[in-house]
Structure 1
Amino acid sequence: MQTDLWNYCLNLYARPGVEQAFLQLQDQGVDVCVLLCAAWLEERGVAFDKARLGQLNACAGPWQHEVVQPLRQLRTRWREAAAHDDALATLRVQVKALELEAERMLLRRLESVTQGWSKTQSQDTCAWLQKMAVDAGHPDCDALHTLRVAINRA
């Protein structure tokens, strides 16, 4: 198991079906960075509670809104035009790299929030993905199931 959140995310994201699952969830409005952190916490055996989830969301929300989402929107808007404009395509690649770095910084911030959150004695209390899915109204979402399967194969 990876010890830091960033390397855990890289490992998880590379597993079959996970990238598509995250993109599907992102399209549904799920904060993928918070979801990645939740998967990491679940695998580490850290107990879920709504206050902790609130701390993660409070950390991620402003950064997503002010930094990550504007970069993503710009990159997405340029997709079609960049296919016919080499200069714009080059800029789009740079924006994509900035977006990834912004997500990496957010993951560092989320990891920092979790410092001191100890492991629990009961695995039943650390089902982050299940509890987040129920809270979000997506308890049976195929994308979340794909993530659970990928995590359990680790």
Structure 2
Amino acid sequence: MCADLWSFALSTYARPGCEAACLRMQAQGADVCLLLCGAWLERRAVAPTPERIQALKQIAGPWQAQVVGPLRHVRTQWRAMAQQDEAVAALRERVKALELDAERTLLKRLEALAQAWPGDDVAGQPRWLEGLAAEDAANLDHNALQQLRVAATGA
């Protein structure tokens, strides 16, 4: 098992079907970094509590809204232009790298918060993903959420 959240996220995301599931959930408004953190916490058997869920969301929400989201918006807006213009394509790749760096920074911040939480709650561990996705539950593809959980158990 990957000890740090970034390595866990990379390993999980690379598993068959996980990337597509995460992209579907992202398109539906879910914070995939937050969900990957939840999968990591489930894997570590950390007990989910409303306070812990809220603490993670307080870190992730503003970072997604103010940093990751704007970078993603620029990158997606430039998709069509980048197919026609090499200079825009090169700039788009740089924006994509910045977006990934921003996600890595977010994962490090989430890990720093959660690192000290003890991992001893075998009975409660599957509730992290549902707790973190609760606000998006009406729009969220629950099959994709389950696909992430399955991918994470093999990471």
TM over 0.5: yes
Runs of at least 4 residues off by over 4 Å: none
What does 1:4-153 align with in structure 2 at a 5 Å threshold? 4-120=4-120, 122-127=121-126, 128-133=128-133, 136-137=136-137, 141-153=142-154
Kindly provide the amino acid, as one letter, of the partner of residue 123 in structure 1.
Answer: V
1:145 CA displacement? 1.6
Are residues 83 and 25 of structure 1, via their aligned partners in 2, closer, same or farther at CA, if it must alter by over 3 Å? Answer: same
Deviations along 1:63-118, whole A, 9 cap, x unmatched? 11111000000000000011000000000000000000000001000001113101
TM-score (norm 2): 0.92
Distance 1:63 1:140 in 2: 23
Residue 45 of structure 2 contacts residue 119 of structure 2 at CA under 8 Å; is this kept in 1?
A: yes
SS of structure 2 residue aligned to 1:124: coil
One-letter amino acid of the counterpart of residue 124, structure 2: T
| % same residue | 51
- 2-structure distance, mates of 1:88, 1:19: 25
Distance 1:116 1:149 in 2: 25
Structure 2 distance, partners of 1:152, 1:108, is 21
Shift of the alpha carbon at 1:2? Answer: 0.4
Change (3 A) 1:6 1:144: same
More off after superposition, 108-117 vs 127-136: 127-136
Deviates more, 1:51-60 or 1:136-145: 136-145
The number of residues matched between the two structures is 153
- CA-atom RMSD in angstroms: 1.6
List gaps (5 residues or longer) in structure 1: none
Task: Give, in whole Å, the separation in 1 of the partners of 2:25 and 2:141.
Answer: 12
Displacement after TM superposition at 1:153 (Å): 3.2
Instruction: Note the residue ranges of structure 2 that are not aligned, 5 or more in a row.
Output: none
TM-score (norm 1): 0.93
